Structure 1
């Protein structure tokens, strides 16, 4: 027999029973569950769990990554100058990164407020958004001043899901099994 089958402890290694119980309760809790946001988890729902510090951390981190990326691009451009590829190629590279960054910024910014209408098209733009990563980082940096990136969209969806769930719950009153037996008794009497 394996070592795992001999133990009677149902908790995973490194977790406590209370953590496992609360995770199990959350998984079986009725109603919609909030969608986690990268770097924030579900702290955006009630703005708890160091939400403000997380927003500040994302802002500082995205700005630092943007500055570091600009230095990397500068070194790449200097490499082109050292290789003496010509001013036309250098201009094309700068133009390519500027256009791709603008597209990445716009698409990332739009992604914070609405789901993409055509996910296939978004997959096709993944390469452009990767090249224009500076624009995506800037969008994260700017958005963290007002909210967690994507919080408004997820909050709207979560509140709508709660309303739909409450309507479905209120429509189901009583015991459905009792209604079936009452109908069956009526059918037998006839």
Structure 2
């Protein structure tokens, strides 16, 4: 392919795509509102289905005739894991974690089982966040705006002919 046939690459930073939204979050185009509604409905439906599955599991415990303490322990465990998973997912929409660093990587690995057990909390976090914005949009928008601002500053300082800038500086010194 020759240089004339290659598509022109856009200048500057490019927005990072968000799951289910791509880059429609930048200008809220491409059925953005419909996507948000679909994510909200889908996550709420999945949370309801998960609650039904947990209800069947609880009924299984009742059929097995386990003690009241064990039944209460299971309920408290799912509630606590769901609350922790909700909080972790909610914070993930507004703060980026570096999974490559040692402390964050080990914390993320330790939270995997809690997030799996408390999956209803994660789904509810997606539901409530998608009522306001695309989950993670605030974080991505802040990063994208910061990158664009830095790019504009760098472009502004490099604009023009460097030889002409040097000549202008020499005249001002006199």
TM-score when scaled to structure 1?
0.76
Report the Cα offset of residue 175 of structure 1.
5.7
TM score, norm. by length of structure 2: 0.82
Selected match of 2:111 from 125, 129, 148? 125
How do 1:9-48 residues align onto structure 2 when only pairs under 5 Å count?
A: 24-25=7-8, 28-48=9-29
Aligned-residue RMSD, C-alpha = 2.0
Residues 30-71 of structure 1, C-alpha deviations (whole Å, 9 max, x = no match): 211111111111100000000000000001000000000000
Contact 1:109 1:139 in 2 (8 A): yes
Q: Which moved more, 1:82-91 or 1:92-101?
A: 82-91
Shift, 1:127, TM fit:
1.4
Larger radius of gyration: 1
Contact 1:116/1:122 (CA < 8 Å) preserved in 2?
A: no
1:145 match: secondary structure = helix
For residues 93-133 of structure 1, what are the alpha-carbon distances to aligned partners after superposition, in whole Å with 9 as ceiling and x for unaligned?
A: 11111000000011111111111365312232121111101
Is 1:164 aligned to 2:150, yes or no? yes
**Residue of structure 1 aligned with 2:132, choices 146, 149, 165:** 146
Tell me, which stretches of 5 or more residues in structure 2 are unaligned?
167-174
What corresponds to 2:68 in structure 1?
Answer: 87
In structure 1, runs of 5+ residues without a counterpart are 1-9, 11-20, 183-190
Task: Give 1:154 shift.
Answer: 0.6
Q: CA deviation at 1:174?
A: 3.9
- Structure 1's consecutive aligned runs of 4 or more residues displaced over 3 angstroms after TM superposition are none
User: Does 1:61 find its partner at 2:46?
Assistant: no
